[in-house]
Every structure is written in structure tokens, then in C-alpha cells.
């Protein structure tokens, strides 16, 4: 197993979380293959980048903020295909009433090496727990305060 390939697959998950946290759904979708698949317990399966973008957009449209952190996951590479389990913590706050949410879970990921690099062919979100913490009520700083520009290759 090549460490560079494992790192590249992990970077897909990190890139996705960074883009979603900054509200850049269009960039988040680029971690998927053109025919990639996103599965969550609260939406119909989304197949292909346009459907994935629509699903993510509609999910985050009601949120004042979302902040997703990715923890080091397990990656297994077999040639041009990989599997990964990526734990996440997601903090969010609903726009209409400022209700905060804490989500703990993981993604069961499948990735494929393409000409454009590694991309997710399938991501399945698995919830572990969901809570409404009282302490997530502080003032928000705009995501645009993060001036760093990163792109996946």
C-alpha cells in the first residue's frame, strides 16, 4: 500500500469538510467522481456531481453555519480503488431559530483513481449520535475570514 495514495484519499475528506465549512458547495462537490454517489440517512441517494451539489446545497441552505471536522480515518488502497472510514464531528446552527446541532458519525468511503486524481465514487454518511448543545450560541465570524485558497489536484 502506497502512503501517498492513502494521504490523497484522506485529503479528499479534509477538502470536502473545509469547503462545506466555508460554504463553498461547488468546490466540495469536486472531490466526487463525475458519476459519484452520496448517501445520507435524511436524503435520497444523489448520483453524479449535479445531484450531489443539489443535495448538499439544499441541506446547508437552512443553516446559519456548519463546521465539519474530519478525524484521521482508515484507508485501504488496492490498485486504483480505495476504501476508507472517516470519522467526523459536525457543528451546525439553524438559521431560522439559531438552534445548534452536534453530529458525530463517519463516512464509509469508496474512492477511485482517475486522470484528475483520487475522487470519491461513493460516500455513505453513518450517524453515531445527534445532539442539541446549549453552548453553541456565540457570535459567528464570516467564513470569508479564511483567506487561504486551496484546490484539489
* pLDDT tens track for 104-138: 999 999 999 999 999 999 999 998 887 766 665 65
Is the per-residue pLDDT at 141 higher than 70?
no
Identify the CATH number of the domain defined by range 3-136: 3.10.450.50
Quickly list DSSP for the chain. Answer: --HHHHHHHHHHHHHHHHHHHHT-HHHHHTTEEEEEEEE-TTS--EESHHHHHHHHHHHHTTEEEEEEEE---EEEEETTEEEEEEEEEEEEEETTT--EEEEEEEEEEEEEEETTEEEEEEEEEEEEEEE--TT--SPPPPGGG--------
For the segment 4-17, the average pLDDT, to the nearest whole number, is 96
The reported pLDDT for the residue numbered 1 is 62
pLDDT surpasses 90 at 77: yes
pLDDT for 128 equals: 87
More confident residue, 141 or 52: 52
Query: For residue 140, how many other CB atoms are within 10 A of its CB?
Result: 10
What was the pLDDT predicted at 150? 55
pLDDT for 152 beyond 60: no
CA–CA gap between residue 17 and residue 36 (Å, rounded): 17
Burial class (CB in 10 A: 0-12, 13-18, 19+), 139: exposed
Q: Which of 74, 43, 70 is nearest to 59 (CA)?
A: 43
Q: What's the pLDDT tens digit per position in 26-74?
A: 999 999 999 999 999 889 999 999 999 999 999 888 899 899 999 999 9
Q: What pLDDT does residue 115 have?
A: 96
Query: In angstroms, how far is the first alpha carbon of the chain from the final one?
Result: 21
Average pLDDT of the residues in 2-29: 95
Amino acid at each position: 500500500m502506497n502512503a501517498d495514495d492513502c494521504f490523497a484519499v484522506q485529503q479528499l475528506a479534509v477538502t470536502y469538510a473545509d469547503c462545506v465549512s466555508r460554504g463553498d458547495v461547488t468546490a466540495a462537490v469536486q472531490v466526487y467522481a463525475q458519476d459519484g454517489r452520496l448517501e445520507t440517512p435524511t436524503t435520497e441517494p444523489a448520483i453524479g456531481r449535479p445531484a450531489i451539489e443539489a443535495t448538499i446545497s439544499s441541506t446547508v441552505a437552512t443553516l446559519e453555519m456548519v463546521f465539519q471536522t474530519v478525524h484521521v480515518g482508515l484507508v485501504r488502497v488496492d490498485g486504483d480503488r480505495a476504501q476508507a472510514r472517516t470519522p467526523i464531528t459536525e457543528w451546525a446552527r439553524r438559521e431560522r431559530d439559531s438552534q445548534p446541532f452536534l453530529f458525530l458519525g463517519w463516512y464509509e468511503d469508496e474512492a477511485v483513481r482517475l486522470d484528475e486524481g483520487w475522487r470519491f465514487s461513493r460516500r455513505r454518511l453513518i450517524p453515531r449520535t445527534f445532539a442539541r448543545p446549549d453552548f453553541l450560541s456565540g457570535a459567528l465570524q464570516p467564513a470569508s475570514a479564511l483567506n487561504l485558497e486551496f484546490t484539489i489536484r
